[in-house]
Amino acid sequence: MKKKIIVIFGIILIVAGGIWGYFGLFHYLAEKNAGNIYEDMKDKFGVKPLLQIPTMGEGEPEVPIDFASLTAQYPDIYAWIRVPGTRIDYPIVRREGDNDYYVTHTVDGRKRIEGAIFTDDYNSKDFGDPNTVIYGHNMKNGSMFKALHKYKDRQFFDEHPEVFIYQEGRVLRYKVFAAYTYDDRHIMMSFDFENEIIFQSYLNSVLTNKDMRSNIDTTTSVTTEDKIITLCTCSNTNEKERYLVQAVLLSIQE
């Protein structure tokens, strides 16, 4: 009888261990391969890598992405973001009516932990809003928006101020002016940026943020006339916090 009980417990342990192991392996592989789909996409669609920081000028902009064939296959892709000096080189998507979709799905609609780089439908697709918030996961393997955390280093912050957003026939050039940890409130739902007074007081609160962990470039002038983007990812320490990198639009070439 005793023997039987031992055997039964043994079976329970093995089954439980097997389930743990399976999920562990699944989780490990999901982490390890996070973001690979975007690398494959870059190869498949011939996205030209960034060799040097483009100079903005007159005339036809050089767009290294074939949006026509990309959007034919993935209709939610409407822009592409590049942050020189980091691995950030991804399509930006937006799903009308389901802002949570790309938290858990890659651009090809598969359920994956890395999700996609996306914006909410509270923002327009032309980056003409006072503040456009772009989200991306903080993946352990360094993919997606993990690299934003590099901006915690003031030297990196000072030396890598460029952000580029590409769209069909246009290039938007941004300059990073703030990088800091913030709470997890939904930014677009918390501030009415269309209201100039609110936008101004929001900018003031960002620009006067002063401590050794918040990097703010006070030499860049940012006013309510400007358009900014907020790159948002998870904090490394606290699930109630987000790490934000904010950049101001300098020029559009189209």
**Footprint of other proteins on this chain (CB under 8 A)?**
1, 4-5, 8, 11-12, 15-16, 19-20, 23, 27, 30, 103-104, 113-115, 137-140, 146, 152-155, 158, 208, 210-213, 216-219, 234, 236-237, 239
**C-beta of 141: minimal distance to other proteins in Å?**
9
Dihedral sign, Cα of residue 133, residue 220, residue 202, residue 129: negative
**C-beta of 203: minimal distance to other proteins in Å?**
14
Residue 248 in tokens: 């101001």
- Distance CA(64)–CA(47), nearest Å, equals 6
Give the C-alpha distances (Å, rounded to integers) separating 1 from 8, 29, 162: 11, 42, 72
Identify whether the C-beta of residue 173 lies closer than 8 Å to the C-beta of residue 164. yes
Residue 152 or residue 170: which is nearer to other proteins going by CB? 152
Please report which helix (H) or strand (E) contains residue 137, including its range.
Answer: none
Measuring CA to CA, which residue among 55, 65, 80 is closest to residue 165? Answer: 80
Residue 116 or residue 188: which is nearer to other proteins going by CB? 116
Residue 211 or residue 225: which is nearer to other proteins going by CB? 211
Q: Is 56 exposed, middle or buried (0-12, 13-18, 19+ CB in 10 A)?
A: middle
Residue 7 or residue 72: which is nearer to other proteins going by CB? 7
**C-beta of 244: minimal distance to other proteins in Å?**
15
**C-beta of 56: minimal distance to other proteins in Å?**
24
Residue 11 or residue 53: which is nearer to other proteins going by CB? 11
3-state DSSP call for residue 99? coil
Residue 16 or residue 72: which is nearer to other proteins going by CB? 16
Residue 35 in tokens: 């973001």
**C-beta of 126: minimal distance to other proteins in Å?**
28
**C-beta of 125: minimal distance to other proteins in Å?**
25
Strands 131-135 and 241-253: unpaired
